[in-house]
């Protein structure tokens, strides 16, 4: 049997996945704009419309649509066709999966007689030393519920309406193979982070963070993903974004945040990396070998093949040493403003937080792996002038209720 591999392509240099072919409208907020600005006039597009990219400018891509030319925000389009949402941590029970499991089971019966030396490459490499899937499964167990406090009901209804409008697209659709491959990689990277930093198992605080991420995700192009936010215990001021929708914020960062708008701005920045495909392009994996590998691993363990492990090494290096390209970080900043302003948060939340962070201790890592903070703030101040909140009800600020729950700093 050929060695188990997931066909996975990851690009870590600046690139544009939007220039490789057609893009698909994924949000009912998408407009064909006359200028590359969030507040520009435009023609409303329909979910599922196919657009042909021409060029890019920051967070916007110039496209051709039905003999018309204009600009569209990358927050509302995707290079992936419409697909159903991938439930994080849920194993597929489709008929295809059942057949693959039977085939894999039959294979193990004959392989057992020949020895399983080949399968050693399929097992988790150093799981006890590198991964904490148990903590990850706890995070995945926290329900994704939108907070329905009275002051936010209208925003909740808007988010649910946006999700409901996807129904006509998703009734006959399956989860995209590319989405499955992205989530599989993201789970493993998240488990690595949780081995390095202990997760804070505060159920209510985590559910609150996830309610913000759910509302932000509902107005983005990545309706194929669930977004989950976990709290990790660290003295470093930082936040992390893993492929597939796994996001993490350190306790040191939460202590610096003053308002829910700042919190939403940070979450939206990390989501921006996922929404804008800053981790590269993920190719579909083979269901048969995925299930075969899971059958051959010890009970309770997870499969991380050698190809994926190499990619995880590179992503982990970005987290702690090299950082992403500065253009991608600035694009995620711009995405943050675009996302938060749609659901009623101040567009100035992220710039306000960065101003506080620039004067704080424990910021060596984030400053090492991100563009110069004053440059980020200056660009954000310019972008903030291009959004309007006139038609969006403001979100009530509940962060002070949760900030008191942050664990005391460990010595």
Are residues 299 and 174 both part of a single domain?
Answer: yes
Q: Phi/psi at 287 (nearest 5 deg)?
A: -60, -40
Q: What would the DSSP string read from start to end of 55-80?
A: EEETTEEEEEETTEEEEEEGGGEESS
| Partner residues linked to 42 by β-bridges | 33
Output the pLDDT for position 169.
46
32's tokens: 């064909």
Place of tokens 């090494």: 313
- Asked if 49 and 25 touch (Cβ cutoff 8 Å), the reply is yes
CATH number, residue 62: 2.30.30.40
Asked whether residue 99 is assigned to any structural domain, the reply reads yes
Closest to 47 (Cα-Cα) out of 221, 229, 273, 260: 221
Distance from chain centroid for Cα 141: 17
pLDDT tens per residue, range 124-151? 444 457 889 999 999 999 988 755 443 4
Of the residues 78, 113, 148, which one is the last residue of a structural domain? 78
Are residues 60 and 100 both part of a single domain?
Answer: no
Are residues 47 and 106 both part of a single domain?
Answer: no
Residue 166 belongs to what domain range?
95-403
Distance from C-alpha of 370 to C-alpha of 367, rounded to nearest angstrom: 5
Asked whether residue 30 is assigned to any structural domain, the reply reads yes
Are residues 105 and 210 both part of a single domain?
Answer: yes
Of the residues 78, 106, 127, which one is the last residue of a structural domain? 78
Reduced to 3 states, what is the DSSP secondary structure of residue 94?
Answer: coil
Are residues 65 and 169 both part of a single domain?
Answer: no
Asked whether residue 165 is assigned to any structural domain, the reply reads yes
Output the pLDDT for position 316.
87
Output the pLDDT for position 166.
45
Neighbours of 71 (CB within 10 A): 22
pLDDT higher for 159 or 266? 266
Are residues 277 and 394 both part of a single domain?
Answer: yes
Of the residues 12, 46, 78, which one is the last residue of a structural domain? 78
**Cα–Cα distance list, 163 to 218, 220, 354 (Å):** 6, 10, 31
Asked whether residue 1 is assigned to any structural domain, the reply reads no
Distance from C-alpha of 248 to C-alpha of 51, rounded to nearest angstrom: 33
Output the pLDDT for position 129.
75
Are residues 119 and 62 both part of a single domain?
Answer: no
Distance from C-alpha of 258 to C-alpha of 261, rounded to nearest angstrom: 9
Are residues 62 and 177 both part of a single domain?
Answer: no
Asked whether residue 373 is assigned to any structural domain, the reply reads yes
Asked whether residue 262 is assigned to any structural domain, the reply reads yes
Asked whether residue 69 is assigned to any structural domain, the reply reads yes
pLDDT tens per residue, range 93-124? 555 555 555 555 555 555 555 554 444 444 44
Distance from C-alpha of 229 to C-alpha of 266, rounded to nearest angstrom: 11
Are residues 73 and 221 both part of a single domain?
Answer: no
Residues with Cβ within 8 Å of residue 241, at least 6 apart in sequence? 247, 270, 271, 273, 274
pLDDT tens per residue, range 10-49? 444 445 667 668 999 998 889 999 999 888 889 999 989 9
pLDDT tens per residue, range 59-99? 999 999 999 999 999 999 999 888 888 877 654 455 555 55
Distance from C-alpha of 122 to C-alpha of 409, rounded to nearest angstrom: 39
Are residues 143 and 244 both part of a single domain?
Answer: yes
User: How many folded domains does the chain comprise?
Assistant: 2
pLDDT tens per residue, range 297-345? 555 556 676 677 788 888 888 888 888 889 999 999 999 999 999 999 9
23-25 vs 77-78, strand pairing mode: antiparallel
Output the pLDDT for position 160.
41
Asked whether residue 3 is assigned to any structural domain, the reply reads no
| Partner residues linked to 240 by β-bridges | 248
Are residues 110 and 169 both part of a single domain?
Answer: yes
Output the pLDDT for position 219.
92
98's tokens: 């059942």
Distance from C-alpha of 390 to C-alpha of 314, rounded to nearest angstrom: 43
pLDDT-wise least confident of 21-35, 171-185, 241-255: 171-185
Are residues 101 and 54 both part of a single domain?
Answer: no
- Asked if 343 and 297 touch (Cβ cutoff 8 Å), the reply is no
What is the side-by-side order of every strand in the sheet holding 42-44?
42-44, 31-33, 68-73, 60-65, 50-57, 23-25, 77-78
């Amino acid at each position: 049997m050929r060695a188990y591999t997931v066909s996975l392509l990851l690009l870590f240099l600046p690139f544009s996945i939007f220039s490789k072919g057609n893009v698909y409208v994924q949000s009912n907020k998408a407009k064909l704009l006359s200028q590359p600005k969030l507040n520009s006039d435009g023609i409303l597009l329909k979910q599922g419309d196919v657009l042909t990219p021409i060029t890019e400018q920051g967070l916007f891509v110039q496209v051709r649509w039905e003999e018309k030319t204009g600009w569209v925000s990358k927050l509302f389009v995707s290079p992936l066709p419409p697909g159903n949402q991938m439930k994080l941590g849920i194993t597929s029970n489709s008929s295809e999966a059942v057949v693959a499991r039977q085939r894999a089971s039959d294979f193990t019966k004959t392989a057992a007689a020949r020895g399983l030396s080949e399968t050693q490459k399929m097992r988790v490499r150093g799981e006890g030393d590198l991964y904490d899937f148990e903590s990850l499964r706890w995070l995945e167990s926290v329900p994704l519920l939108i907070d329905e406090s009275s002051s936010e009901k209208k925003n909740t209804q808007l988010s649910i309406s946006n999700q409901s409008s996807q129904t006509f697209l998703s009734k006959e659709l399956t989860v995209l193979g590319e989405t499955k491959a992205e989530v599989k990689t993201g789970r493993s990277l998240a488990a690595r982070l949780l081995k390095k930093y202990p997760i804070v198992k505060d159920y209510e605080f985590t559910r609150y963070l996830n309610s913000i991420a759910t509302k932000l995700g509902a107005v983005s192009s990545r309706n194929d993903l669930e977004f989950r936010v976990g709290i990790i215990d660290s003295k470093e001021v930082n936040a992390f974004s893993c492929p597939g929708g796994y996001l993490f914020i350190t306790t040191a960062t939460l202590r610096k945040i003053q308002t829910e708008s700042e919190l939403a701005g940070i979450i939206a920045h990390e989501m921006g990396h996922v929404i804008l495909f800053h981790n590269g392009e993920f190719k579909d994996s083979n269901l048969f070998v995925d299930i075969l590998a899971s059958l051959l691993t010890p009970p309770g363990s997870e499969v991380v093949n050698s190809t994926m492990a190499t990619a995880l090494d590179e992503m982990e290096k970005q987290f702690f040493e090299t950082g992403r390209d500065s253009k991608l970080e600035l694009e995620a900043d711009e995405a943050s403003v675009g996302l938060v302003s749609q659901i009623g948060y101040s567009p100035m939340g992220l710039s306000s937080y960065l101003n506080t962070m620039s004067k704080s201790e424990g910021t060596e890592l984030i400053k090492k792996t991100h563009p110069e903070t004053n440059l980020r703030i200056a660009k954000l101040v310019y972008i903030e002038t291009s959004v309007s909140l006139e038609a969006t009800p403001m979100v009530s600020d509940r962060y002070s209720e949760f900030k008191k729950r942050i664990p005391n700093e460990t010595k």
